[in-house]
Structures are given as C-alpha cells and as structure tokens.
Amino acid sequence: MTLAIATATAARFKLPWLDLGTYDINQCPIGLVDSALISRYQALPLFRRRRTLYLAVSNPGEISALDDIKFNTGLTLELVVVEDDKLASAVKQLVGRQESDALGLACLQEDNVNPDQFDILPDQDSDGVKGDEAPIVSLINKVLGDAIQCGASDIHFEPYETNYRIRFRIDGLLQEVMRLPVKISRRIASRLKILSQMDISEKRKAQDGRTKFRTADDRTVNFRVSNLPTLWGEKVVLRIMDRSSAPMGIASLGMDERQKLIYLEAIKRKQGMILITGPTGSGKTVSLYTGLAILNTAELNISTAEDPVEINLDGINQVSIKHHGGMDFAGALRALLRQDPDVVMVGEIRDRETAEVAVKAAQTGHLVMSTLHTNNAAESLTRLRNLGVPTYNLATSVSLIIAQRLLRLLCNKCKEKVKISEKLLLGEGFTKSQVSGGKFFRPTGCKHCRDGYRGRTGIYEVVPITEALSQLIMAQDSSIALAEAVRRGEFLSLRQSALIKVARGLTSLEEATRVT
C-alpha cells in the first residue's frame, strides 16, 4: 500500500493516519495482544490509555480481526491507518521482541510494575480531565513524545477544511506524520492552550505560551508554544527546546580550526561586540550559548536578555523580555548594564534604540553578544548603519561577525559514493586540491535516516573586523564593497565552508547548493 492509498483509506473511514517510520516500535506494549493475533491480522498495538487500545492497521474494514482483538484484550479499540509495507516490518519486529521478552514481561507483571510509567508524562497535573477528553490528552502526549524521540525541532498542528494535519520539522525540513479528522481540531487546540497557560476563551488573537514535559528517563523538555487563528481554526506550533539535543561544545558546532580560534579569541576580550547572523532556525542561539558556556566562570558576571529564554544555564542571569510590561530589549539591556556585568547577551538587535545601547556598552568595558537577521557579515554592518548607528561607533565597537547556516549530514549507514566530473566540480567552486583529494557521496535512504540524511552541522563565515574593514566602514562603503574586502581577507564564505564538508564526504553537493 502506497502513501496515497493509506491516506485515502484513512479519509474514507474517517480515521487518523500515521507514518510508522516516525514511530518508535519499542514503545508498543508487550503482551497486551497475543502474538498470533498480531501476525494473523497484521495489526500493531501502538499504545494503551486506560481502557482504550490504539491499533495500527492497513485495512480497517477487517471486522473479524477487530472483533477477535477486542475479545482477546477486553479493551475498546481506536484505529489508526498505516501503510501496509511499513506495518508488516513493524509487526515482525514487535512479534520477535514480544517472544524474546516474554520472561521479562512476566517478571514485570509479578512485581506489579505499570508499563504506562514509560510513557511521556506532563508536568502539569492532568487529574480531573473529563473522560471524553482523555483520548485527546493521550494523543497529544504521544505526539510530543514521538517528536522528542525523532529529534524534531518543531511540531505543527494544522487545521484545514477537510482534515487535520500534524507535521514535525526534522533536520530543518517539515515532514507530515499524521492526519486526523478535522472535528477534533478545537479539542486539540484547547488542550494545548491549557498546557501552555493561554487564554482558552480567546480565539481571535494570536497567543504565546510555554510548557514543559517530563520524559520516561526523567528529562525535562521545554516547549515554546505559539497559537494562531487561521481560516479553518487555530494552528498551534510548538518549538522543542531540548537542551540535551543541543550540544554546547565548540567542537560540535562544525567550524574549521581557524574559525574556532578566531571565535575563542574574540570571546576572551574584555570589550567589543560579537554578532551572529542568519535566518530563523540557523543555529544562532546554540552558537551564542556555546560562547557563554565557555565564559561561564565564577570570575565573570554574565547576563542575557532574550525573547524568550530558550536554554537555561546555571550561573548566568537570564531575563525574559515582556513587551506588555515595558521590558523590551532596550529597557532590559539598560537594566542589565546597571548590574555590574562583564558579559551581556542580547537575544536580537531589532531597533535603533537597542543597537545604540548595545554599541555603547561594547565601547565601555563590556563584551556584548547578539544576533541579527541578515544573510552575511557584510550585510550585518550595513544593517546596523541603516538602524542609525554612527559609522565611527560601528567601526570601533564590532569585533567579530559570524554568519551561519545549518546543512544536513549524510547518513553514514547508507550514503553512496558517486563520481562527479572535474569540470562540474570546479564550476561549483571547488579547488583543484579538493577535487583531487575529495570523497563525494550522495544520499540513498534507509531505516536509520530520512531521505539519506541524519543530523545537521553548521557552516560559517567568521569575519574579525580588521583595520582594513574598519576603514571601509568609516568610508560608508556598500555591502558589496565590504563583501569583496572580506573575500580578500581570505576568510571562508558560507559556500566555501559548505563545499569543504562536501569534499570530506559529510554532506552532498545538492544539500550544499540548497543551503548556500
């Protein structure tokens, strides 16, 4: 059964659809359904909530199968449609695991251990949830748990005219994982708003909130929640802020050795401004916090102003911006400067007032770190100038600019070596030494990855403000002239940084071209 057939079947029977490729089979309950029934009817028990068993099937019209499983378990069944090829593989895996773990399951039952304790648990107390809302609570818990296990960065709950779609952003790209009947969209939105402490009665305005969940291994994962009224209902997007999935060491960023040294030298200065630029989702926050983590010692007073605080670090004073309470970036920065700081991090420079305060702080004995939404280092200088920062202050305060992107890494288990003509490689920007000594691969795809890629790494343009660049800033040259000066300084561009990773066999040429 193809994806199209599975989704059509789900629509016909008005049932939710699930991509089994995103589901961790290890979460399936062991021993709840007899192995013979699972194999005979190709029905996969996904999880149990109270007296309801969620069952993955490819043919929901098989009445006899449903009757046998319902009689065998004594539970109410909720069906989920999946593709039959993925179902067959999952059934084989579960049956094998069920048979090998039969002794272990018996021990658990003898010790009165509740298998549900291994599910994701909300920090909020869900006691008192109405009986008809319990399936919604279970569904949301399961979606959030699956997203964390898949390494997703965002979850999108999206209502449309005839269906309700759930998507995960994994390695920078959105992937659909489930379709549900549109009639439950309001109940899902309401539950998410309750969890994130939003006004459940307000359906005409966008709202923001936060929530946190505790996983089975006792990790606390924070979610930033955004609610938006759309044509067909309320869309809710959750940003997963899992500190454990964001390695903070400088070695994990993906910089080359020269770039690391430049960054480390800049953060050890007593004053100056370090700017990290790039679009939303390019890893700027992780790069900033990597520097803060290195500086986080008992000898330094480090303070941040963020909207919102995404990563909690002990030893750093973090302020969350509250626009409605008068605590904007400029106001928070002024307050921080009265707290005897050594290092100040501003989440983003958005306006002239914030830029001016940050520049003055960088000139008066403080190390200031911040972000801008620009494409490269040269455009960052032009952006600050357009915000009204005088060229003299700009030339004497900014010490380092880092532009960055994230690109997907090839899966080491299935990547395939490929031959590419020398003429084509040279035309793409590779050097002759990279062509002769490089190893080039392409994605293929396997059960361990998604479309041949697994994980991401950063590519960087790390540009210290030299005397030559300062003179160009003072002369108010254009971003084109500044970019040319950066190239003459022999600093790697984003494109060159990406091509180096292609030549090393870490990613594909197609991915480098997509990102740069």
Which helix (DSSP H) or strand (DSSP E) does residue 500 occupy? helix 494-503
Q: Which amino acid is at 172?
A: G
Both tokens of 18, joined, read 């699930």
Both tokens of 120, joined, read 């994701």
Distance in angstroms (rounded) separating the CA atoms of residues 8 and 2: 10
Q: How many CB atoms lie within 10 A of CB 223?
A: 23
Answer yes or no: are the C-beta atoms of 354 and 346 closer than 8 Å: yes
Please calculate the CA angle 508-510-513 and round it to the nearest 5 degrees: 115
Give the CA radius of gyration of the chain.
26
CA atoms within 13 A on the CB side of 205: 7
By three-state DSSP, how is residue 112 classified?
coil
Omega cis (within 30) before 308: yes
By three-state DSSP, how is residue 55 classified?
strand
Distance in angstroms (rounded) separating the CA atoms of residues 241 and 28: 26
Both tokens of 505, joined, read 């066999």
- Residue 246's pLDDT is 59
3-state SS, 59-80, equals: CCCCHHHHHHHHHHHCCEEEEE
Report CA-CA distances (Å) from 110 to 98, 106, 107, 278, 374: 17, 6, 5, 56, 61
Distance in angstroms (rounded) separating the CA atoms of residues 257 and 265: 12
- Residue 326's pLDDT is 67
Q: Are strands 17-18 and 173-180 parallel, antiparallel or unpaired?
A: antiparallel
Tell me the pLDDT of the chain (516 aa) as tens digits. Answer: 577 788 888 888 888 888 887 787 777 887 778 888 888 888 888 888 878 888 888 888 888 788 888 877 888 888 888 888 888 888 888 877 665 444 333 332 333 333 333 344 444 444 445 544 567 888 888 889 888 888 899 999 999 988 899 999 988 889 888 888 888 899 999 999 999 989 988 888 999 888 888 777 777 888 989 999 999 999 999 999 876 665 667 888 889 999 999 999 999 999 999 999 998 888 898 899 999 999 999 999 999 998 878 777 889 999 888 766 667 888 888 889 999 999 999 988 988 999 999 999 999 899 999 999 888 888 888 888 888 888 888 888 999 999 999 999 999 999 999 999 999 999 999 999 999 888 999 999 887 888 899 989 999 999 999 888 888 888 776 777 777 877 776 788 999 999 999 999 999 999 999 998
Both tokens of 203, joined, read 């359906």
Distance in angstroms (rounded) separating the CA atoms of residues 497 and 491: 10
Distance in angstroms (rounded) separating the CA atoms of residues 348 and 275: 9
Burial (0-12, 13-18, 19+ Cβ within 10 Å), 156:
middle
Model pTM score? 0.70
By three-state DSSP, how is residue 177 classified?
strand
Residues contacting residue 365 through CB under 8 Å, at least 6 positions apart: 270, 271
Answer yes or no: are the C-beta atoms of 443 and 508 closer than 8 Å: yes
Residues contacting residue 297 through CB under 8 Å, at least 6 positions apart: none
